[in-house]
């Protein structure tokens, strides 16, 4: 795989799950922008929001995007839900959107085995009404940026990763 695959989509849509399954099946490395920021800042995303604020976190995301553009090749990159706002997203690789309705995502998070932990680590998902508003604000922007759109509601995980591999010629 020469070009990076940039996996975007709303919080809780399953970017991490899909990325890990893809990495295993196609023998590529997967890195996650939230993990990169957490290790560089030596703080969990939730704590960065609490202690330094959202604007600081967004600046970390831009710094991460700049590093990826310069240094990362042939890698699957799963992105935090707001990472699409960086000014060089399209330069980072093929942009793949995991797409699902807000209701489906909300249900996925609520019914997950570790639902509490999944919600607790996402400061912007703490209030359902606010999260839905954010979803509405973002859905068109996500679609506009995407080179490939994956309908995760109607495909199994295996089907999703096969579809991404085909579209990205992996
Ligand atoms: C965010 C999504 C989170 C994380 C941060 C902000 C967002 O990542 O980057 O809490 O703005 O949508 P996930 O999409 O992995 O939950």
pTM for this predicted structure:
0.96
Q: Which of 18, 33, 54, 81 to mutate to test the pocket of ligand 1 (most atoms within 8 A of CB)?
A: 81
Q: pLDDT by residue (tens digit) across 68-124?
A: 999 999 999 999 999 999 999 999 999 999 999 999 999 999 999 898 888 888 989
Residue 43 corresponds to which tokens in the numbers above?
A: 């703080």
Closest CA to ligand 1's atom 10: 122
Q: Is the pLDDT of residue 39 over 90?
A: yes
Atom index in ligand 1 nearest the CA of residue 13 equals: 14
- The response to whether residue 45 sits with its C-beta less than 6 Å from ligand 1 reads yes
Q: How far is CA 161 from the centre of its chain?
A: 15
Task: State whether the Cα torsion 53-55-61-67 is positive or negative.
Answer: negative
**Burial of 12 from C-beta contacts in 10 A (0-12 / 13-18 / 19+):** buried
Characterize the bridge pairing of strands 94-99 and 76-78. unpaired
- The response to whether residue 119 sits with its C-beta less than 6 Å from ligand 1 reads no
**Quick check: 84 and 141 in contact, CB under 8 A?**
yes
Atom index in ligand 1 nearest the CA of residue 121 equals: 10
- The response to whether residue 123 sits with its C-beta less than 6 Å from ligand 1 reads yes
Judged by phi (left if over 0) then psi (alpha if -120 to 50, else beta), residue 79 lies in: beta
**pLDDT value of residue 80:** 98
**Domains in the chain, CATH or no CATH each:** 5-167 (3.40.50.300)
- The response to whether residue 13 sits with its C-beta less than 6 Å from ligand 1 reads no
């Amino acid at each position: 795989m020469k070009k990076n695959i940039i996996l975007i989509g709303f919080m809780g849509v399953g970017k991490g799950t899909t990325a890990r399954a893809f990495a295993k099946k196609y023998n590529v490395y997967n890195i996650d922008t939230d993990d990169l920021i957490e290790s560089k800042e030596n703080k969990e995303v939730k704590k960065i929001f609490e202690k330094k604020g959202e604007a600081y976190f967004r600046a970390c995301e831009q710094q991460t995007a700049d590093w990826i553009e310069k240094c990362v090749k042939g890698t699957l990159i799963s992105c935090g839900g707001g990472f699409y706002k960086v000014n060089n997203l399209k330069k980072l690789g093929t942009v793949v959107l995991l797409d699902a309705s807000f209701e489906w995502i909300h249900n996925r998070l609520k019914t997950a085995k570790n639902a509490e932990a999944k919600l607790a680590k996402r400061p912007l998902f703490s209030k359902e009404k606010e999260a839905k508003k954010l979803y509405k604000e973002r859905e068109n922007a996500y679609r506009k940026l995407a080179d490939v759109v994956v309908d995760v509601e109607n495909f199994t995980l295996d089907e999703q990763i096969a579809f991404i591999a085909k579209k990205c010629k992996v």
